Amino acid sequence: MSRVPTLALLVGSVLLSGCVADLRRFALADPLWEDTDRQHVPKEPAQYYSGLLADGADQMFFRPIADFWAFHRPGESVNVNALDEVVNSAWFQNRIGLFRLSPEEVARAACGNTPTLSMDTGPWVVTAAKPNGANPGFFIKAGDGHSYLLKFDGPLQPGRATSADVIGSKLYWAAGYHTPCNEIVHFDPKHITIAEGATAEDAFGEDQPIRREDVDRVLAMALRRKDGLLRASASRFVPGRPIGPFRYEGLRSDDPNDAIPHEDRRELRAARVFGAWINHFDSREQNTMDVWVKDGEREYIRHYYLDWGDSLGGRWPLDGISRRLGHSYYLDWGHVLGDLLTLGFWPRPWNEVTLNQFEIFGYFDAENFEPRAWKGGYPNPAFERLTDRDALWAARILSNIDEARIRAVVKTAEFTDPRHEAFMVEVLLARRQKILEAYLRSENSLSNFRVVRRGHTADPRAQSVCFEDLALLHGVTSLDTVFYKMRFRAGARLDQELGWLQFTPDPEHPHRSCILLPLGYRRPSELAKPGAPDDDPLRYGVLDIFVHQEAKVTPTSHVELHFYDLGPDRGFRLVGIDRPPHTVLPDLY
């Protein structure tokens, strides 16, 4: 199977084509919503092993050295459709970004309507031990027929790691990523038994039999409730066979469906925004997983995110490192050089952080959070390729995860102290607001474009294009200063102006606006010859919307809506949305 068809189909939905060499148009076609990367792969891929030390050395030492002599051409993500959205794929599934999910649906996330792991179904049999990560755990087979990874908190921050693993999985699922079903469970330690032949790796990578004293040693680090039950996070095994993590760059050579370099996938780049939100600094490739799945007659690789136990204020034994998490890499060459040149007098944001009122959440706060400056534990090739358009896409999704949905998710963490639950909701909301302010203020904040019939006008065939201003909806900008300028242009070179409009938002519904089409005195279809085909270039028109968030001559941002005009009866058809990184103003602006 060749990679060319998949790549051509994806890129073809994004690139514009036209009859003039330097002029591009979207095709008259429905936008692509499904990638072809879930086609049957006849040969099962090999297992990929990613060593923690090897990956850290590669990202912190060898790749920066190699990149020092390389010239990386900046570029936008290539797996977006004509509406500037990420398509459904083996990597991503559109959820709350495009569809309204209830708080209950978000709280259930990947678990859906399946029952929670319970002691009532029979003993939990330890089959193996979790060899890596900051928090100890076991693989178990439960009486419900599922296998789970049980993870515990450890003594340093009791209750945080298990809560973070559950909250992170549900927020990432709502955003659109493939995640496992993670839930909080409480159990009697006597409910744990050991399977015959169960083994775990020792410090030298050798398999050793798991003994009861090994189990008891791990359980001793679990958070114990007043009634004697132990607390854990249970991560249900996903369907299929794990074949190792995915990489944040390059292609998987034994997967013919893998046609887009991972660092150029928008969902992987934009994961930096979601990681920043919950301070998922351990966002390395070892916390991902490729799974060989069977779907009917097809077998292919599906890509998962997993393990958010570091999030929401994870700390290291060395407090000097803990204060820097989210602000600096473990080894940050830029900060090292800056300190050398300034003899350490350069003020750093982590110098101002203090443990918050609930020590289990470490330094997790909103006051010292700067979304654009956030960093994971070490450099991530996809995160480093994040563009403003990628981040804006993530912000649009994040804007739909509102307070009700955040509260529903945090409640599933089952904090023992209600003050912890209230604190977590407050900080997540405040950090979310900072992300929205960082990207909706400087980038294009318009979203949810749609063309509707306006039957209340004199002409029942009349259409309007409607949109929402997320900056106004979320209080990022003020109604007193926002206004829009619009221009409709058409013609062979899309330089013939057909109409202008300037208006301020309606105070009764400031974040929602609709304008009547056509914008000017003529329709693009009137420029075409009688009987011209639907995709005739002269039927094509572009509505430029210049957004002013401040009372200035120059706009804050610019978005282009691309239409084909099929005449008064069939109306305007929106075929593309473009958010140019740089605004080029008309001569008479």
Query: Quick check: 301 pLDDT over 60?
Result: yes
For the stretch 183-204, pLDDT in tens is: 999 999 999 999 998 888 766 6
pLDDT confidence band for 9 (50 / 70 / 90): very low
Question: Looking at residue 7, what is its pLDDT?
Answer: 39
Query: Quick check: 133 pLDDT over 70?
Result: no
pLDDT confidence band for 13 (50 / 70 / 90): very low
Query: Quick check: 334 pLDDT over 60?
Result: yes
Asked if 483 and 502 count as a contact pair (C-beta separation under 8 A), the reply is: yes
Name the strands in the sheet holding 207-209, side by side, starting at the edge strand that comes first in the sequence: 182-187, 230-236, 147-151, 137-141, 124-129, 192-201, 207-209
Share of the chain above pLDDT 70, in %: 90
pLDDT confidence band for 344 (50 / 70 / 90): confident
Separation in Å, CA 19 to CA 301, 536, 537, 538, 539: 39, 10, 8, 11, 13
Least confident of 111-120, 133-142, 171-180, 285-294: 133-142
Asked if 272 and 280 count as a contact pair (C-beta separation under 8 A), the reply is: no
Phi, psi of 136 (to 5 degrees): -70, 160
Q: Which of 250, 230, 242, 205 is nearest to 3 (CA)?
A: 250
Residue 223 has which token pair?
A: 């958070």
pLDDT confidence band for 288 (50 / 70 / 90): very high
SS3 category, 513: strand
Instruction: Give strand pairing partners of 126.
Output: 140, 194
Alpha-carbon distance of 440 to 46, in angstroms, equals 43
Query: Quick check: 3 pLDDT over 70?
Result: no
For the stretch 38-48, pLDDT in tens is: 999 999 999 98
Separation of CA 91 from chain center: 11
Question: Looking at residue 335, what is its pLDDT?
Answer: 81
- Count Cα atoms within 13 angstroms, Cβ side, for 46: 6
Alpha-carbon distance of 570 to 559, in angstroms, equals 25
User: Mean pLDDT, to the nearest integer, of 463-476?
Assistant: 96
Question: Looking at residue 61, what is its pLDDT?
Answer: 65
Residue 587 has which token pair?
A: 């001569």
Asked if 416 and 537 count as a contact pair (C-beta separation under 8 A), the reply is: no
Residue with the bigger pLDDT between 338 and 252: it is: 252
Burial of 224 (0-12, 13-18, 19+ CB in 10 A): middle
Residues 6+ apart with CB under 8 A from 519: 486, 487, 488, 498, 499, 500, 501, 543
For the stretch 478-494, pLDDT in tens is: 999 999 999 999 999 99
Residues 6+ apart with CB under 8 A from 491: 527, 538
Query: Quick check: 58 pLDDT over 60?
Result: yes
Residue with the bigger pLDDT between 589 and 499: it is: 499
Query: Quick check: 100 pLDDT over 60?
Result: yes
For the stretch 399-432, pLDDT in tens is: 999 999 999 999 999 998 999 999 999 999 999 9
Residues 6+ apart with CB under 8 A from 176: 86, 92, 93, 94, 95, 96, 97, 267, 397
Average pLDDT, the chain: 89
Separation of CA 93 from chain center: 11
Question: Looking at residue 52, what is its pLDDT?
Answer: 66
User: Mean pLDDT, to the nearest integer, of 211-236?
Assistant: 90
Query: Quick check: 266 pLDDT over 60?
Result: yes
Alpha-carbon distance of 242 to 215, in angstroms, equals 25
User: Mean pLDDT, to the nearest integer, of 559-565?
Assistant: 97
Question: Looking at residue 588, what is its pLDDT?
Answer: 65
Query: Quick check: 132 pLDDT over 60?
Result: no
Residue 95 has which token pair?
A: 């959820």
Q: Are strands 446-453 and 124-129 parallel, antiparallel or unpaired?
A: unpaired
Query: Quick check: 1 pLDDT over 70?
Result: no
Least confident of 146-150, 343-347, 572-576: 343-347
Alpha-carbon distance of 316 to 277, in angstroms, equals 19
Name the strands in the sheet holding 540-548, side by side, starting at the edge strand that comes first in the sequence: 496-503, 483-490, 540-548, 557-565, 572-578
Asked if 87 and 10 count as a contact pair (C-beta separation under 8 A), the reply is: yes
Asked if 37 and 257 count as a contact pair (C-beta separation under 8 A), the reply is: yes
Domains annotated for the chain, with CATH where assigned, are 38-440 (no CATH), 446-578 (2.60.40.2550)
Query: Quick check: 174 pLDDT over 80?
Result: yes
Share of the chain above pLDDT 90, in %: 69
Question: Looking at residue 68, what is its pLDDT?
Answer: 62
Question: Looking at residue 18, what is its pLDDT?
Answer: 38
Q: Which of 12, 10, 14, 7 is nearest to 579 (CA)?
A: 14
Alpha-carbon distance of 48 to 27, in angstroms, equals 40
Asked if 412 and 170 count as a contact pair (C-beta separation under 8 A), the reply is: yes
Least confident of 169-173, 214-218, 581-585: 581-585
